[in-house]
């Protein structure tokens, strides 16, 4: 993933409604119409939310007759999780170094 992809993913995930839509479509696909019924906003607003997820490659849309079906993209979620795992490892390495500093033996003398 390049930095633009990462920015798009985390920008999309920064919004509560988009995260909720993603949670709904990960286990199974839903139509945009079905999703729009679940929120107190317009159909057009939900379409915009889905479009933001689609730009980030977090969801894919396909047409089935008159409906647009939305499904989650597991590969992109896994890529984002790997990136977060890398950040977590950096943090854990720092904590380990701090622990090592505190547990290092001292010469026992006074200054």
Q: For residue 36, what are the domain limits?
A: 3-101
Asked whether residue 9 is domain-assigned, the answer is yes
The pTM of the whole model exceeds 0.85:
no
Asked whether residue 109 is domain-assigned, the answer is no
Cα–Cα distance between 65 and 75 in angstroms, integer? 27
Asked whether residue 44 is domain-assigned, the answer is yes
Q: Is 83 a residue whose pLDDT tops 60?
A: yes
pLDDT in tens, 47-59: 999 999 999 999 9
- Give the model's confidence band at 92: pLDDT under 50 very low, under 70 low, under 90 confident, else very high: confident
Cα→Cα distances 69→28, 63, 93, 111, Å: 10, 6, 43, 72
Q: Which positions ≥6 away from 74 have C-beta within 8 Å?
A: 26
Higher pLDDT, 60 or 111: 60
Cα–Cα distance between 39 and 17 in angstroms, integer? 9
**pLDDT mean across residues, the chain:** 91
Q: Is 74 a residue whose pLDDT tops 90?
A: yes
Where residue 64 sits, what CATH number does that domain have? 1.10.10.10
Domains of the chain: total: 1
């Amino acid at each position: 993933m390049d930095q633009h992809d990462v920015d798009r993913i985390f920008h999309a995930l920064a919004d509560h409604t988009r995260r909720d839509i993603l949670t709904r479509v990960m286990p199974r696909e839903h139509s945009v119409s079905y999703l729009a019924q679940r929120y107190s906003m317009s159909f057009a607003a939900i379409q915009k939310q889905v479009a933001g997820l689609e730009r980030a490659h977090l969801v894919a849309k396909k047409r089935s007759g008159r409906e647009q079906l939305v499904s989650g993209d597991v590969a992109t979620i896994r890529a984002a999780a790997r990136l977060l795992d890398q950040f977590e490892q950096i943090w854990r390495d720092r904590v380990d170094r701090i622990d090592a500093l505190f547990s290092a033996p001292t010469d026992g003398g006074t200054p």
